[in-house]
Chain A
Amino acid sequence: MRHTISVLVNNHSGVLSRVSNLFSARGYNIDSLVVGITDDPKVSRITIVVRGDERVIDQVEKQLNKLIDTIKVVDLTHDDFIARDLALIKVKAEPHTRSQVMEIVQCFDGKIVDVALKSFIIEVTGKESKINAMVELLKNYGILEMVRTGEVAISRGKKVHEETEKQVKVKAGKAGQSNL
């Protein structure tokens, strides 16, 4: 099963490598791993999407918790949570297909952020499944290049990380430096 795990860590050098090392050393499969700052410069948040049975996920959580630099680990999967992935997609847009592509973009609440003679760059955010669906459709027109961020997630309502709620709120858009 696919799990979304949110991890708060000390923003120390080497932490990212400790986390990724753990996954490779123990043979766990990650779909994606995203690191970002929080509004506390000393704390970073890592969002990991990992697949495995109950035993594997249980070990993943415990092993993450065991790292000295880990502050808190939460498996969001069983909570009510919101997950978003961002994609930038460069897709072919010939004169006779431009309007069809634009229609698809509209349907998926995307934006055309760059227009060239024979292509668009499309920006879209959403659940992984939504983006997958859009990508499937756009493949018909020819995807030239694509980049995706991987999933970031947050639980609805109550704070995921109660203990550090004061310091830890992701501030979108605020520039900051991660030491990871």
Chain B
Amino acid sequence: MAKTKLKTGAQMVVDMLVDEGVEMLWGLTGGAVLPIFDALYQNRDRIQLIDTRHEQGAIHMAEGYAKATGKVGVCIATSGPGATNIVTGLTDAYMDSVPLVAITGQVPSPLIGTDAFQEADVVGITRSCTKHNFLVKNIQELPQIMRDAFFIARTGRPGPVLVDIPKDIAAASAEVPYPKHSTVPLSKLMPTADMSQIEKMAELIKHAKRPLIYAGGGVINAGASEALYKFARKTNIPVTLTLMGLGAYPAGDRQFIDMLGMHGSYRANMTLTHCDLLIAIGARFDDRVTGKLSGFSPNSKKIHIDVDPTSIGKNVKVDAHILGDMNTILAALAKQVGSQDYEEWYDQIDVWQKKHPLAYKQPANGPVKPQFAVDEIYRLTKGDAIITTEVGQHQMWAAQYYKFNKPRRWITSGGLGTMGFGFPAAIGAAFAFPDSTVIDIAGDGSFQMTMQELAIVKQYNLNVKIIILNNKFLGMVKQWQDLFFDKRYASTSIPVQPDFVKLAECYGIKGYRAETIEEVTEVLTEVFKSKEPCIVDIAVDVEEHVYPMVPAGGANTDMVLSKEHDQERVAAERAAARAKGGKK
């Protein structure tokens, strides 16, 4: 693209998007961003713009697309309220390392700083929730900024980048050559692996009797699932995954021992606590994984493989680490290690599994257990669907009971825990994979946060199934109230709800309701036969809790395993409190 022509800033934005391989983007228009929307309209044969009903919808769609494909998701919004509406999505993408470029219109340059109509200090507001952001001050720098934005978003640990473009710059014309490369040095974003550490790691692995691989979303971001599989299979070391890592290792594999952490399985958390070598790969020792730090895998040596230097030693001290491209590192490490049978170790893990497997009891005539619904979704889609979730109990049941054998089929908001994420994310994924079934496993509370995007599934006839595990409660918070607040249900009962079946119908899609297990099976069987969007409203048991559960602030071994178990815990605490009171 050497030869230059006189072009508007808006045209440059579109050209750079196309040049970066962007096929589609999501957004909602407005005054300050009008010139760019106009250019997008004129170039609609080169790039598809999907008009959403809310900017939060747009950015979560871009995230869903990015998480499903690994490509950079793009969204666009106007100045002021349009831009502030994407702040949640930016923070979500920042926490979960989602490659994203957000373009915002800004008031014309001469008006910046004057409290102009629909002016907001967007680079200021988003500084701490973006990997980087730019305010374009001059049309000459616009193409380079666009190039840099994409490079930063996708390189190393991915993340969101925002480009704020004043209206006058989008409307102005200039001749500016399009740069081929970013000005940001690669080394800034992607450390080169220090291979001298490999030997030390191999040595630690060789001497371990009870090793464990703990892998996270970083493996998926790096496209290193295959490399992880080879490494794990070669060494025969058991594997546990974080919430964000589900799918990075096949759930059906015999070395896989479930998700770990706050709602991880008993065997995963016990294995974690008792291992003598913990190999963390693309995971960041999040507090939902570690529990109380003093109780976190206390007797293990620790190895950390990651791409982000700030993740090393942030929460947990490690004995060896290596930074860089995970594929390269895992391949090199796999070459250096041998296999062991770890027979005693696997036997022990089996004992834990038999003692407390992930399980629930579905009474034949009783209310539908939410876990049963997830099980049925899994069975009927044969594990082949792309699953997104909202945030709450349903999210954890989906994580526990839907088994992922491939990466990028599990799309959830982990770091920020954003209610309202799942439905628009499902739309984004459906645009990326129109032939797949995409299911938003939703809570009734969360879905009501972004359900205005139903118009989009109708308009594009997307194969998105919204399956609501409806407990008429903000269930996860109710669970905490049940456990820690004496069942005082402050603000968690939401009995007044739309009729979700009619809601579907009023948007022109199909709606279904299921209240018994037979109906669940019947309805799900039917909806998966079609490629059309729908809402399935399943009435589930309000009293069900997500177990196991590591209480906040507790160690991973303090898992509460069932209601009965919890009642014992509460009784013991009360007795202790009484005993203490008596002494006074």
Contacts and interface: CB of A to CB of B under 8 A. Distances in A.
A17 B309 contact: no
Interface string B292-314: 00000000000000001110111
Interface in B118-162: 123-124, 127-128, 131-132, 135, 137, 152
A63 B313 CA distance: 12
B116 interface: no
B452 to A, nearest CB: 32
A68 B123 contact: no
Given A14-B127, A21-B127, A68-B152, A58 B135 contact: no
A66 B124 CA distance: 18
A62 B310 contact: yes
Contacts of A65: 309
B580 interface: no
Contacts of A13: 135, 137
B188 interface: yes
B309 A62 contact: yes
B310 A25 contact: no
Interface string B309-323: 110111001000000
Interface residues of A, number: 14
A68 B132 contact: yes
Contacts of A174: none
B184 interface: yes
Contacts of B131: 68
Contacts of B124: 14, 17
B127 A17 contact: yes
Contact of A68 (B128, B184, B310, B313): B184
Nearest to B124: A17
A25 B127 CA distance: 11
Given A14-B123, A59-B310, A59-B314, A68 B188 contact: yes
Nearest to A58: B313
A18 interface: yes
B127 A18 contact: yes
- A21, A58, A65, A68 — most chain B CB neighbours (10 Å): A68
A78 interface: no
Interface in A1-59: 13-14, 17-18, 21, 25, 55, 58-59
A58 B318 CA distance: 13
Nearest to B132: A68
Contacts of A21: 127-128
Contacts of B309: 62, 65-66
A163 B525 CA distance: 64
Given A63-B310, A68-B152, 19 more contacts: A13-B135, A13-B137, A14-B124, A14-B127, A14-B135, A17-B124, A18-B127, A25-B128, A55-B313, A55-B317, A59-B314, A62-B310, A62-B312, A66-B309, A66-B310, A68-B131, A68-B132, A68-B184, A68-B188
